[in-house]
Amino acid sequence: DAGVIQSPRHEVTEMGQEVTLRCKPISGHDYLFWYRQTMMRGLELLIYFNNNVPIDDSGMPEDRFSAKMPNASFSTLKIQPSEPRDSAVYFCASSLAGQRGDYGYTFGSGTRLTVV
Amino acid sequence: GIQVEQSPPDLILQEGANSTLRCNFSDSVNNLQWFHQNPWGQLINLFYIPSGTKQNGRLSATTVATERYSLLYISSSQTTDSGVYFCAVDRTGANNLFFGTGTRLTVIP
C-alpha cells in the first residue's frame, strides 16, 4: 500500500483565496482524520470521519473551514477565504477501528500551507 | 479536556547513549500511542500501548495505566533517532487522538 497520500505537498496562496487540500486514505481504513500543526498550538485535531460520515468537527476553527468525504478513498479540506493565520502544516491520517491492538494509525506526509 | 504532558521538552544526546522520555496524562485512556516526527516532518507510528510493555528493536515502551504515565526508552541512540517524539491518547475509543507537546531529541555524532 502506498500509505496515506496528500496533495499538494506545498501550497502558497494569497489571502482571500480558496484553498483545497486532498487526502487519499489507506484502502480498507474506516477512520479518516484531519490535523493541523503549528508552532504555537502543536498538533490539533480538526475533524474526523468514520465510514465517510463526519463524527466530530468541534476542532474546526471557524466556518471558513469545511471538510468532505464523498467516498471511502477521498477527502478534502477546504478553506474559504484563506487568511495568513491559517498558515500551517495540515496532516491527514487514517486508521482501522474495531480490533484490539495496533490500529494502524498512519499519517500522510502533510501539506504545508502558506497564506500571504 | 484531558491533559498530556511530555518531558523533557528538549534532549540532546551523544550517539550511543540511552534515554527515557516520559508522558503523563490526566485521565484514564483506552488508547495511547507514541509517534516520531522526523526532521522532514513525517509522523511515524512507533507503538500502540495503552498498557504493558512492548519492544521494537532499540525502542521499547511501557505504560502504567493505573498511574497515568507512559515511558519511551531509546537505547544506543543513532543520529537517525533525531526528531520530535509525541505521545497521543484517546479516551473515546474512536481513535480520536489528543497529542502532547512532544520531546525534541537531537542525537549528535
The cell numbers describing B52, all together, are 504493558
Q: Residue A102: pLDDT above 70?
A: no
Which residues of chain A does B48 touch, with a Cβ-Cβ cutoff of 8 Å?
101-103, 105
Contact map slice: A 59-88 vs B, CB within 8 A:
none
Percent of chain A with pLDDT over 70: 94
Q: Do A103 and B31 touch (CB under 8 A)?
A: yes
Residue with cell 479516551: B91
Which residues of chain B does A97 touch, with a Cβ-Cβ cutoff of 8 Å?
94-95
- A–B CB contacts, 8 A cutoff, strictly below: 53
What's the pLDDT at B36? 97
As a whole number, mean pLDDT of residues A9-13 equals 97
B56 to chain A, any CB pair closer than 8 A? The answer is no
What's the pLDDT at B30? 85
Look at strands A111-115 and A10-13 and give their pairing. Answer: parallel
B18 to chain A, any CB pair closer than 8 A? The answer is no
Nearest to A89 among B41, B97, B98 (CB): B41
Cα distances from B68 to residues A103, B25, B27, in angstroms, run 21, 5, 7
pLDDT digit string (tens) for A49-92? 999 999 999 999 889 999 999 999 999 999 999 999 999 999 99
The candidate with the shortest Cα–Cα distance to A79, out of A63, A100, A103, is A63
Which residues of chain A does B101 touch, with a Cβ-Cβ cutoff of 8 Å?
42
At A92, which amino acid appears? C
What's the pLDDT at A107? 94
Q: Do A97 and B95 touch (CB under 8 A)?
A: yes
What's the pLDDT at A62? 86
Q: SS3 of A109, please? A: coil
Q: Residue A99: pLDDT above 60?
A: no
